[in-house]
Each structure stands twice: as C-alpha cells, then as structure tokens.
Structure 1
C-alpha cells in the first residue's frame, strides 16, 4: 500500500526552495528533493516532469504573492506613484526571496529560453495596474519594463520616479 503524504506537492516545492536558497540551481535535483521529502524519485515525477518544472512552480508561487500585493496597492491608488512604488518594492522582495535562482549562472543558462518566452507576459502583468493612469498601453508597458530592468539593476525608487513621473 503506497503511503499518503498530505500536501506533497507543496512539500516538494518548499524543499526545492530550501535547496535553491542554500546552494543555487545546481544544488537542486529531483533525487535530493525526493530524499528530503521521504519519497521515491518517481513520485516527484508524478507531480513535476523535470527539475526545471519544479523550480518554475516555486518561482510562480512567489510571483503570485508579489502580484497580489501590487494589485492590492493599485486598488486604492489615486495616482501612479503608489503603484510604481509597490511594483518596485515587490520586485526587490521577489528577487531577494528567490536569489538562489535569480542571478545564478546555471539557472540563467537553463532558463534562458523560458525567460525570453515569458518576459513579455511578465511585463504585461506589471503594466496592467498602471494602465488606468496612462494615455496608451505602450506607456504602461514602457513604465513596467523600465521598472523591471532598473529595479533589478539596483536603482532606487526615488531615481526611477524622477524619470517615470514624466510619463504620467
């Protein structure tokens, strides 16, 4: 009789997170995650077809939290500044919470194609709460791209706001 482990998918994601934060992309293997969770390798593959899919699930969980915080800020915002500030803050928080993958050379190489495919979707998600303050969709997309690029490059919100406010 197979053993039943409650919330196994979540436990697998959490273990992948722990391993990625401790040792980066290369430290995470299906075998190491399975062992830490007390299950067989095949069991992990029942939930995730690959290491990259497992790590993508971990990254997606954090992204949903960040987007919820941005959406909450946008709901009550009377202007673009608090929304831009929330995006900036959430990007920093997300990057800090996922530093085992973000900035890891092996992860960048492994996920290069995925990053290219999903970049436009990411930009669009960040632009969505800005659209009501913009004259065009392009302005919102441009602001989102600028925030994404320059926040992750270490620019302060104050520096970014001094430029971005001219768009609104």
Structure 2
C-alpha cells in the first residue's frame, strides 16, 4: 500500500501501474489482483485510508471546539485538506460507466458522514432545531470545498444567521 500510494502521489493516476507496484514490492502482479480487482479499486482503498484519517481528525475537532462555527470551519478545513491530496488524481480520472454510479454512491456516503459531524456539533451546542438541515449543510460544505470561487465565509454567514450565532 505504501508503494502504491507513493507511486500514485509521484506519478499520478494515469501513470500508476499495478505491474510497476508489484515489481517494486517483489511480488507477482496477480497477488495485487487477489486483493484489488482493478487499479480503480486500489486507488479507492488508498483514498479511503486517508479519508478515514481526515474524518477521525474532524471528529476530534468537533469534540474539542469551543463553538459551533469554529467546529463547522474545522470540518471544512478537513474536507479541504483531504481534497488537496487527491485533486490531481481526480483531474486524471474519467467517470464513465459504473464509475459514475460508484461516485454518486460514495458521495452520498461522505455527505452522510459529514452530516453526522454537523449533527454532533448542533447537539453539542444546544441547537435542537435544524436537525433536518444536516444533510443540506454537509452538501453545502462539500460544494464550497470543491468550488473554490464560492469560499467558506459566505456559507459561514448564512449558518450564523440561520442559527442566531
């Protein structure tokens, strides 16, 4: 996994080759295919490991933050940090066929994980109303994180007004 991640970061998605990984590790390429049926699955697993680290860090921030907006900002920072790691990879990847469905499915999963963080913050800071807004707020965070021209500040202002912060 370390070799695959190193090659992915150095060479990019399009030049990542399972044969090259196997050679550097001193194993047969078939061994890799026993665990990962495709390059896409290997890359997805690499990303998943980093996403789990980012998610764990965001949870810690949500548990230690002093107020809702700060926690909301820390979630945003976590999303930005993760997306910066893989922006070059996503730029090379073509979302066709089953990948489109898989991407939509993963997006819903990630949105749900972020919504859980937002819900934790809302409950922690006594914001009982708006629980139905968690998915919307999570999607807003994701959108602002990947649409660099939008920026976090306008979203933070909306949140502050919505929750009288």
TM-score (norm 1): 0.82
Structure 1: give runs of 5+ residues left out of the alignment. Answer: 1-12
CA change 1:84–1:51 in 2 (3 A) is same
* Between 79-88 and 97-106, the greater mean CA deviation after superposition: 97-106
Matched, 1:118 2:106: yes
Q: Which segments of structure 1 move beyond 4 Å, counting only runs of 4 or more?
A: none
Q: Does 1:161 align with 2:156?
A: yes
Following the alignment from structure 2 to structure 1, what is the Cα–Cα distance between the partners of residues 93 and 41? 18
Give per-residue Cα distances to partners, 1:63-85, cap 9 Å, x unaligned: 01110111001112343212211
Structure 2 residue runs of 5 or longer lacking an equivalent are none
Shift of 1:160: 2.3
Q: Work out the CA distance in 1 between the residues paired with 2:96 and 2:7.
A: 18
| Distance in 1 separating the partners of 2:134 and 2:65 | 15
Are residue 93 (structure 1) and residue 88 (structure 2) matched? no
Closer/same/farther in 2, CA of residues 24 and 99 from structure 1, 3 Å limit: same
The alignment's C-alpha RMSD in Å is 1.9
Q: Which residue of 2 aligns with 1:9?
A: none
Cα deviation for residue 114 of structure 1 reads 1.4
Q: How does 1:1-168 map to 2 (within 5 A)?
A: 13-106=1-94, 108-109=95-96, 111-132=99-120, 133=122, 134=127, 135-154=129-148, 155-168=150-163
Task: Give yes or no for contact 2:145–2:151 (8 Å, CA) kept in 1.
Answer: yes
Q: 1:165 Cα deviation (Å)? A: 2.2
Instruction: Give the Cα–Cα distance (whole angstroms) in 1 for the partners of residues 92 and 160 of structure 2.
Output: 33
